[in-house]
Amino acid sequence: MNTHFHDHDHNYSHAHHAEGCSGKSFYDIAVSSLKEAKCRITKPRLAVIECLADSAVPLSPKSIYEKVQTKNDLNVDQVSVYRILEALTKLGLVHQVFPSGEYLSCNTRCEVNPNHVMLNCIQCGKVEEIHLDWSFIYKIYERVRRTSQFEAKKHMLQLDGICAKCQ
């Protein structure tokens, strides 16, 4: 079992690249989130967001960089792509999938709604996010607190396996 960070409440499922729970696309959610955070809306940021929005599977920073270079007439270096991914991760807009380290768009603001599990198909590479009721996560937090005297503030959870289509 692998993991990714979160600290929010949600109890329904969706695929990352589909429309989110608000009915908005990842692209729209990302742009509005950047505006809310008072981040500049730059062409390189928009190109990375578009690249992630167009992909149903996780992408490495290198493949994002290559797609941005070929699809857009922009001179964006790899360091900038990493910085953009870091900023999008901090805003809860993308997840880093382990162990590959690839990035996947999230159509829900995970900083607002983090109670989910990423289901990572090890055969086709599809990643789906299912949302859990907060009471389920709370039981884990409580058990950890009781047994380890550790006060959890965030969590991350990723399960690697084989999706229904690949079985």
Within a domain: 1: no
Identify whether 72 is part of a domain: yes
pLDDT digits (tens, 9 = 90+) for 142-161: 999 999 999 988 777 888 99
Instruction: Report pLDDT digits (tens) over 83-132.
Output: 999 999 888 888 888 777 788 777 555 555 567 788 889 898 888 888 88
pLDDT for the residue 12? 25
User: pLDDT class for 133, splitting at 50, 70, 90?
Assistant: confident
Q: Which pLDDT score, from 0 to 100, does residue 128 have?
A: 84
At 5-28, the pLDDT tens digits run: 333 332 222 233 444 445 678 899
Residue 136 lies in a domain: yes
In-domain check, residue 5 = no
* DSSP secondary structure, 52-78, as one string: HHT-SS-B-HHHHHHHHHHHS-----H
Count of structural domains within the chain: 1
Domain membership flag for residue 8: no
Q: Residue 4 falls within a domain, yes or no?
A: no
Q: Residue 93 carries which DSSP code? A: S
Residue 155 is classified by DSSP as B
pTM of this prediction exceeds 0.75: no
pLDDT of residue 65: 94
- The reported pLDDT for the residue numbered 17 is 40
Ligand-binding site membership of 166 (annotated): yes
**155 known member of a binding site:** yes
Mean pLDDT taken over the chain = 80
CATH number, position 110: 1.10.10.10
pLDDT at 79: 96
Quote the pLDDT of residue 10. Answer: 29
Q: Which residues contact 165 (CB under 8 A, 6 or more apart)?
A: 121, 124, 126
Instruction: Give which of 67, 32, 36 is closest to 50, Cα–Cα.
Output: 67
Q: Is 59 left (phi over 0), alpha (psi -120 to 50) or beta?
A: beta
Q: Is 124 annotated as a binding residue?
A: yes
Cα(18)–Cα(23) distance, rounded to whole angstroms?
Answer: 9
